[in-house]
Structure 1
Amino acid sequence: MKKTAILTTVICSLLTAVSCSKDELDLQNPNALTTDQYWTTPDDAEKGVNSIYAMFYKDGLWARWLYFRLDLTSDEGFSKSPWVELADWTRFSYINYNFWEGNTVTWRDSYKAIFRANQVLAYVPEIEFSNAERKEQILGEARFFRALHYYYLGVLWENVPLVLEPSEPNDLPEQRTKEEVFAQVEKDLNEAFGALPPTWDASQTGRPTKGAVKAMLGKLYMQQHRWEEAKTALEYLVTGEGAIYSLVDNYEDNFTHLNENNAESVFEIQYGDQRKGGTGESADASVSTTRAQFFAPRGIGWSDGQARFWLVDAFKQEENTNGGIDERLRYTLFYPGLHEDFGDKVYGKDWEWDEDEAWFRKYQRDYYRENEDYFSEVNYRLIRYADILLRYAEVLNELGMTSDAYQYVDMVRERADMPPLAEAYPAIGNNREAFLNRLKTERVLELCGESMRWEDLKRWGDLDEQASVDEIAQRDPDFGNFDVGRDIRMPIPQVEVENNPNLEQNPGY
């Protein structure tokens, strides 16, 4: 199975030597290098930056639990897991703030990734390189990943410590506001842009590019309603120097291992199934994602995550240009009518489900196998061009350029054989609010199950007022538990609050 050099999971053993009270017993462990011993060569720098990529294979991030937060807690998904505490964390029933799988492990792994990025940024500048450009690229990669992880910390918890130097066990970092965290994300991304290339050669596929940086800046500015700056950032990918992306002909190609790192991919997490270990730091640690196992339908996987059935109905509200069902439904969801609608069997079998049940099909492997396991090799498209086009349309609409926004929505719709938006919904016209309301549905149809919806709901302000939350609850009953003003952010793990006097628990908890 082909995968790139990024899959090398490197563990930086940057442990300080342990000393006894007597000098003659001060022995140095040759297997535990100090920072002074390690960060000396360009190869050390390469291994150090690769260790940041290795965090994508950890439980708390994109290997497993982050999907529960971004997909299942939104109105797109839910959990009926028999593990009640796990299911509770997707329906705003937060009892144990230290719940590992729902909260603490994602906090831990986010800061582990940031710690690794901070080491690169602190120590690599002192290393002599014969290739100065590669040195700057390594620093740019570290800045990109520090920004990426702080972005999601800001989206999920908002008020978090901002650690910008290699941390020590006794550090008590101060809590910062979401605005301060996002300001650092912006700074890191802008610095990364100057250091990273527009593209990499094939041997380095999977590393962030200038396009990935501008995409993250666009996301950041949109969350802050800084529409002009978001427009400038996204223009780089749509009409500017970085307009090298395009939509692939086959929508399904965005969710299988058969056409990875294609023209639509702006940033893609590289996964492989060549190692069958756990998700720790051992030499045989997995470089896979377990999403498929946890989200697979009942009888195939754990079925801890399901899709809300209103999504199926949303796909069927409008016919395509051939008078049929939107083909994206076929590759987005499993549901009882899938065989009748498209002729597809689920993992090659007929299934009897309740008529209102659905599961996410994206990133499942039923297209070539009849079971799931913990070792899915399917790359995760964290940023793809279709999302960029819809974001750009949203930005233009917010800036009063609604008539200009249509073409970018139509590009996405055309790939799915859907008629132009103005033809299908002429009543929208240039009404900004009406266009945004339709765009909310367009984003669901294109991006459902791709970990976008939670930040979308926050950006649109749909979680800020009880009236809009009540509307969401009509399609997702879990939002009947949503406490406005509190649940828009997660509780900080209580152990962190208790051990650090500079942290306060988030409001309402």
Structure 2
Amino acid sequence: MKNIFIILAVLILFVSCKKASFLDDKSNNALNENSVFTDSVRTMSFLTRIYEDEGFAYVKTRWENGGQEQATDDSEFNLLNTARRPLILYTSSYSADSFPFFTEVWQTPFDNIRRVNLLLSKLPSTPLNVATQKRVAAEARFLRAWYYYNLLINFGGVPIVKDQVFTITDEVSIPRSTFAESVSYVVKELDEVSAILPVSYSGNDYGRVTKGAAMAVKAKLLLFAASPLFNGNTYPQPSTAEGIAAAGYPTFDVTRWKAAADAAQAIINSGAYALNIDNATAPGYGFYALFLKRINSEYIYFYNRVPNRDWEQFYLPVSRGNGSRNGTPTQTLVDAFPTSTGKAITDPTSGYNPQNPYINRDPRFNYSIIYNGAPYFLKAASAKSPVFTYVGAPTDGFTQSTSAAGPSGYFSRKMLDENLSADGPGNTDRGWGLIRYADILLCYAEAINEIGQTSQAYPVLRQIRERAGIVPGADNNYGMKTGMSQDEMREFIRNERHIELMYENTRWDDARRWKIAMKVFNGYNKLMKPTKVAVSATYPSGYNYEIVNSLFLHTFNEKNYLLPIPTSEIRKAPALVQNPGW
């Protein structure tokens, strides 16, 4: 029954040969407005078309080819396709008019904002009953807010058109609203629709947006607004007063952190969501299993994909069904995972051995990283067998070349079904998580710490670490230091986000909003080069584990914290001002 809402065939296409403004009417005459909005099925299909792009980020399918992670310190990119968007971000080899993907990141939200406004204007005359019209309007307004959210975190303040519908004859050149105005508008919209949307759906309607989804997007937006990138930031030159106002709040205000904490707390207090916990099957098994279930207690907002093996095809090594081995994890990411007691590997009491580095690690590590010797399903054997990444290993061994893709010494296991290979058979009945409850808990911990209430961060962090399967310890603190200072807690929470949300399209955005991207994204990624040696006291695993640099320089400049508005869009709408530095 649920398949009725899983991304339907597109009935409505917006196409035009005219090189028009980003808000112009792009509908054709093959299926006109009258034929759509006088038919209830077509009206609902029109709404479904607006849902279709909700999973977009820098690419329409969000995680395809490794997604944004390949632009971060978490992941080494697949060099076989140098035109991929993450590689352009990795090298900062772009300008406002040199690469077309910025147009898509700008245009996709505005295309859907226009669709929402058209739908809202036509809803009263559709054959849908009044109750359905009210719900559809709330869904559409949520989706409009979601698309604005994606614009705001990438570009800063944008033109806010509210309910206006523009036609092909309109001259459209609307200036950017300030960042403050943009945030206020989106938050108000989310507050209003959260009062209308249901808490949950079942049957045919499962997957539609809910009250919790509206609350979660609000919490995420307010977290961004409170963060250093937007909350009293300084801006590169050249810039204008209008550009600076659009790029963020000129002065810092700690109450923005309080607003973010309150928004996250409201979701926690609702009781509608919970972590997916199963430490009985194996430590941390609930963390692994949550990504394989379309219906679970943790997904607040998700992209309702058909049953699939998408991630297996994106990330698995060649030996596991000719996987694309995109976004291979870096040593920096691997080192962020603590030991099974929750202690950082840099802690001399953790028991970590750099020459036997994969034993006694946080269970999330084993569900996130395929390392040298890690057991993984092999279709030919219908059983698990080791994946070898040592130098000279067949198929998946470590190599470095400036002309071909090579693994980093690791492959991603995060979100994968361990019983599937990249080439099938079979699929997993799962969605793609966009916001989950663990993210909201971490948002709350971060915001409450920033307003000086550090002790209140501990309870939610214990929940996350308990679900992870970490040993609680005598103090029941799951490896967390007691009595952390605000600065210590800030670094702890940032690392916890790093590992808990690995490969969930968060690292690029987190590093930007924290204003640490110039520190962590500049230089050479760290990779792992395992070499076979004789077993000895020095090399108990029979391998020498050597950390080496990537061959490719990672570059991030100050102006890269915000994307440039495409020059082509500014030419069509001269009232738009460019972001600082571009």
Output the TM-score relative to the length of structure 2.
0.71
Correspondence for 1:238: 268
1:159/1:65 CA distance change after superposition, 3 Å: farther
Aligned-partner SS, 2:301? strand
User: Structure 2 regions of 5+ residues with no counterpart?
Assistant: 17-26, 227-255, 279-285, 344-349, 351-358, 399-406, 528-548
Q: For residues 338 and 410 of structure 1, do their structure 2 counterparts lie closer, same or farther at Cα, with a shift above 3 Å needed?
A: same
Structure 1 distance, partners of 2:581, 2:415, is 36
Tell me if the contact between 1:394 and 1:436 (Cα under 8 Å) persists in the aligned partners.
Answer: yes
**CA offset at residue 504 of structure 1?**
3.7
Q: Please, which of 362, 366, 389 is the counterpart of residue 326 of structure 1?
A: 362
- Greater radius of gyration (CA): 2
Q: Could you say if the C-alpha distance between residues 431 and 479 of structure 1 is closer, same or farther in structure 2, counting changes exceeding 3 Å?
A: farther
1:64 CA drift (Å):
4.3
Contact 2:65 2:326 in 1 (8 A): no
When structure 1 is superposed on structure 2, of 446-455 and 79-88 the one drifting more is 79-88
Q: Which residue does the alignment assign to 1:20? A: none
Secondary structure (helix, strand or coil) at the match of 2:561 reads coil
2:205 equivalent to 1:204: yes
Partner of 2:455 in structure 1? 403
Report the counterpart of residue 371 of structure 1 in structure 2: 423
- Matching residue of 2:530: none
Q: CA deviation at 1:78?
A: 3.6
Q: Please report how far the alpha carbon of residue 433 of structure 1 lies from its aligned counterpart in structure 2 after TM superposition.
A: 1.2
Deviation, 1:97, is 4.6
- Cα displacement (A) at 1:209: 1.0
SS at match of 2:147: helix
Who is 1:121 aligned against? 120
Alignment equivalent of 1:261, drawn from 291, 295, 309: 295
Q: Which has the higher strand share?
A: 2
Q: Secondary structure of the residue that 1:104 maps to in structure 2?
A: helix
Partner of 1:389: 441
| Partner residue, 2:51 | 53
The count of residues paired between Structure 1 and Structure 2 equals 472
Q: Distance in 2 between matches of 1:376 and 1:228?
A: 40
- 1:265-284 Cα offsets, whole Å, 9 max, x none, are 111211115xxxxxxxxxxx
CA contact (8 A) 2:70 2:87 kept: no
Q: 1:110 corresponds to which residue? A: 109
CA RMSD between the two structures: 3.7
Structure 2 partner of 1:73? 71
Aligned to 1:217: 218
Alignment of 1:448-459 (within 5 A): 448-459=502-513
Alpha-carbon distance in 2 for matches of 1:376, 1:168: 43
TM-score computed with the length of structure 1 as normaliser: 0.80
Q: What residue identity is the alignment partner of 1:439?
A: I
Partner of 1:281: none
Give, in whole Å, the separation in 1 of the partners of 2:215 and 2:174: 29
CA gap 1:365/1:113 in 2 versus in 1, 3 angstroms:
farther
- How far has the Cα of 1:457 moved from its partner? 1.9
Q: Give, in angstroms, the shift of residue 173 of structure 1.
A: 3.8
The answer (yes or no) to whether the contact 2:76–2:408 under 8 Å persists in 1 is no
Measured against aligned partners, the alpha-carbon deviations of 1:60-105 in whole angstroms (never above 9, x if no partner) come to 6552468866422232224132322325313142336556674333
Letter in 2 for 1:9: A
Decide whether aligned partners of structure 1 residues 345 and 319 sit closer, same or farther in structure 2, where only a CA change above 3 A counts.
farther
1:181-232 per-residue CA deviation (whole Å, 9 max, x = no partner) reads 3233212211211220111123211111111111111111111112222222
Pairwise CA distance, 1:128: 5.8
Cα shift readout 1:92-119 (whole Å, capped 9, x = no counterpart)? 4233655667433333322222222222
Contact 2:73 2:520 in 1 (8 A): no
Aligned-partner Cα distance in 2 for 1:127–1:4: 21
The 2-side partners of 1:301 and 1:96 are apart by: 33
Q: Which has the higher helix share?
A: 1
Residues 243 and 89 (structure 1 numbering): CA distance in 2 closer, same or farther, change over 3 Å? same
What's the CA shift string for 1:303-346, capped at 9, x where partnerless? Answer: 3433222222222545469983222112212232423xxxx356
- Which AA in structure 2 matches 1:213? A
Distance 2:57 2:105 in 1: 8
Q: Secondary structure at the match of 2:434?
A: strand
Aligned partner letter, 1:311:
L
SS where residue 450 of structure 1 aligns? coil
2:180 is matched with 179
- Is the aligned partner of 1:229 residue 2:265? no
Find the counterpart in structure 2 of residue 247 from structure 1.
Answer: 276
Match among 534, 545, 564 for residue 491 of structure 1: 564
Aligned to 1:93: 92
Q: Is the 8 A contact 1:247 1:386 kept in 2?
A: no
Whether contact under 8 Å (2:39, 2:127) holds in the other structure is yes
Q: Share of identical aligned residues, percent?
A: 26
Structure 1 stretch displaced more, 2-11 or 389-398: 2-11
